Amino acid sequence: MKIPFTHAAPHHLGGPLRFVLPAVLVLLFLAVLLWLPWQAREMESNERQEQLIADTLWVEQAVRFELSRNEDALATLSKDLAAAAPPAIQARIAQMLNNGHELRRVRWLGAAGQPRLEGGAEAPPGALAAPSQNAWELARATYKGRYSEPYQASPGGRALVDYHLPLFDGGAFTGSLSATYDLKNLLDETVPWWFAQDNAISLIDRDDKVLAKRAAAGPGRGVYTHKRPLDLPGTAMVLVTDSVKGTPRLLPNLLVGSVVALALGLLASLAALWRHIARRLAAEGALRQQMAFRTAMENSLVTGLRARDLEGRVTYVNPAFCQIVGLPPEELVGKAPPMAYWAPEAMADYQQRFAAVLAGHVTPQFETIFQRADGVRVPVLIFEAPLVDSDGRQTGWMGSILDISERKNAEQLARQQQEKLHASARLATMGEISSMLAHELNQPLAAISSYTTGALNLLGRAAESGAALDPAVLRPALEQASVQARRAGQIIRSVHEFVKQREPQRQLVHIGALVDGIGALIELQASKHFVAIQTIIPAALPAVSADRMMLEQVLLNLTRNAIEAMQDVAPQRRILRIVASVDAGQVAVSVIDQGHGIAPAVAERLFSPFFSTKAEGMGMGLSICRTAIEFHGGTLGHSANPDGGTIFRFALPSQP
């Protein structure tokens, strides 16, 4: 049975809403279709720009690293110039040129700019180019390495930049080491191929003139660009990158594009996944390469590295640290204090510092002692800093440890040599006053002889007459003989204390007592030339922390020089003044004479070792004096006396 077909009446439920809602949904869908590509294009543009900036920064760091590597090589070569033979220096220069293809030429220039040794391309005709000459003079004036402004060796040639490292010997300029960079080769050597395939890289000067360019994939489009100053001392160059990529375009037909996008979504997702995996593998390979590079760099260091967590456990050590403490890494990593390399005598100091580490406080720099596995003590200098992760959280402490055994041995040897030099100077001083010392001892000895002879005569006459001798008659003569004997003994003891050799011993020393202690020796020198001595030393003068014998040596040298400077002036001007005062927390002592003064030519070399204006002088007196004063943290200088003559003044920190 068939059911007849009939037209149903229109259904008006919902009214106009049934048209508005689909229209809104369609408009919303179209808006989303329009907004998504636009937003995707904007995000892609931002991502490309950010990636370009990051890659430009990486290239800039690579260029600076290459320049820094060559700067370090020149600095190392400059230290060996004096000791190495010319063939060895030439070989070093050739090695630098072989290792750095961006280097066009390496030269050793003399003080006047003349070439002494050279390697690489031939030098341009004539003297240094004007920009290179300016950099050479600036490096000489500032005592630091400087780069020149870019220049061309010949018209139409490649842009070059020179780096000049000044050389000094004892403060005197002796020349420079010069490295010439070919900027085009510098870009070719430092810019990786993958970056050059997507970008045109240029070096421009301060006037935006292109100096060198690398564009493996053609010129950039000017859409994604970034400039990065190299910021080299002496020159202003800018690294410019211009991407070959253009602005992302919207699909010509959004509807067709949406359908195609839905159809190709799976393939796109698979392609994106493959691309992500490829990039991830490339990133992991780069990370492994960087880790291998960092490991090789850390293994080549002579500085020990030690990482600790916040609880003090060792988390990392490098080979240099293991060599310092004489223990393998497996006996160090993961261990908590007390450590096997702590010396027993410094255990309290270690415990105190470990408690500070647990409290979150660490001493940035300090010296201590480590004990090797064989029991040998090693003095070390430790630098510690917080160890922070990628999120900015502190995870522990990183320490750099330097073995300072050689420095300590050198300091000990220097102290021993300085003490020997002081002892020799004291013996030389006593040699100069030996004749005066003999005269001074002759007086008490003659007096002792006279008094004892008189006493013997009295005893003899009393024995002849048979009369009893009153002891009171002999007492004055014997007392005077005793006084003269003590005087002679005091002189001998003063000389013995002055010339005996010993280690420096700091103690609180009062300048007044110091001058009184060597007053007899100063008087011996002054009496020979009929020089009067005046001392002005306040009773409330603060003490200084110093070695008494070293300060006595300084005062005796300064007073002897002052006395000898007045031997040819009028007798009424032969006055030596020793004045002490307090100035800005320091005790200042001035030795003032009215002699012939010091000529300007002599004053320039007055404190130089082995310089002397005396025919028999060794030229070490004032040099030793300055060294002794600086050993105590003070200063020694001289100035002209307004009344004629010279004022030598030294100042030492006062003690409460």
Residue 569 lies in a domain: yes
Residues 474 and 593 in one domain: no
Structural domain count of the chain: 4
Residue 19 lies in a domain: no
pLDDT in tens, 527-584: 778 889 999 999 889 999 988 878 887 888 889 888 888 888 888 889 999 999 998 8
Which domain CATH number covers 58?
3.30.450.20
Residue 30 lies in a domain: no
- How many degrees, rounded to 5, is the angle at CA 326 between CA 323 and CA 329? 75
The whole-angstrom separation of Cα 94 and Cα 350 is 50
> How many other CB atoms are found less than 10 A from the CB of residue 243?
21
Residues 399 and 302 in one domain: yes
Residues 358 and 450 in one domain: no
Q: Which of these three, 382, 403, 424, is where a domain ends? A: 403
Residue 258 lies in a domain: no
Residues 314 and 232 in one domain: no
**Beta strand pairing status for 575-583 and 532-536?**
parallel
Looking from the CA of 450 toward its CB, the CA atoms found within 13 Å total 9
The reported pLDDT for the residue numbered 147 is 93
Residue 13 lies in a domain: no
Task: Using the structure block, give the residue that is written with the tokens 């070399």.
Answer: 605
Q: Where are the beta strands (DSSP E) in 522-572?
A: 532-536, 543-547
Residues of the chain with pLDDT under 50: 1-14, 123, 125, 252-253, 255-256, 435-436, 439, 501, 611, 615-620
Which tokens hold the place of 573? 């001007």
User: Residue 453's Cα: distance from chain center in Å?
Assistant: 72
Contacts of 442 (CB under 8 A, 6+ apart): none
| Helices of type H across 466-543 | 471-499, 511-517, 519-528
Q: Which of these three, 503, 529, 558, is where a domain ends? A: 503
Which domain CATH number covers 441?
1.10.287
Residue 429 lies in a domain: yes
The reported pLDDT for the residue numbered 652 is 93
> How many other CB atoms are found less than 10 A from the CB of residue 304?
22
Residues 197 and 62 in one domain: yes
The reported pLDDT for the residue numbered 544 is 92
Residues 131 and 155 in one domain: yes
Which tokens hold the place of 35? 């907004």
Domain of 177, in residue numbers: 51-243
Residues 191 and 232 in one domain: yes
Q: Report which DSSP code applies to 232.
A: B
The reported pLDDT for the residue numbered 503 is 55
Question: Omega of the bond prior to 338 within 30 degrees of 0, cis?
Answer: yes
Residue 21 lies in a domain: no
Whether residue 571 contacts residue 536, with contact meaning beta carbons closer than 8 Å, is answered with no
The reported pLDDT for the residue numbered 6 is 40
Residues 215 and 66 in one domain: yes
Closest CA to 306 of 318, 291, 290: 318
Which domain CATH number covers 567?
3.30.565.10
pLDDT in tens, 609-648: 554 555 444 444 677 788 888 888 899 888 888 888 899 9
Q: Which helix (H) or strand (E) is 564 found in, with range?
A: helix 548-565
Amino acid at 610: F
Residue 621 lies in a domain: yes
Stated pTM of the model = 0.37
pLDDT in tens, 465-501: 777 767 776 777 677 777 667 767 766 665 555 555 4
Residues 350 and 381 in one domain: yes
Residues 598 and 654 in one domain: yes
The whole-angstrom separation of Cα 385 and Cα 397 is 6
Residues 645 and 603 in one domain: yes
**The length of the chain, given as a count of residues:** 656
Residues 378 and 425 in one domain: no
Q: Which of these three, 456, 472, 503, is where a domain ends? A: 503
Closest CA to 483 of 455, 454, 451, 456: 451
The whole-angstrom separation of Cα 597 and Cα 573 is 13
The reported pLDDT for the residue numbered 349 is 81
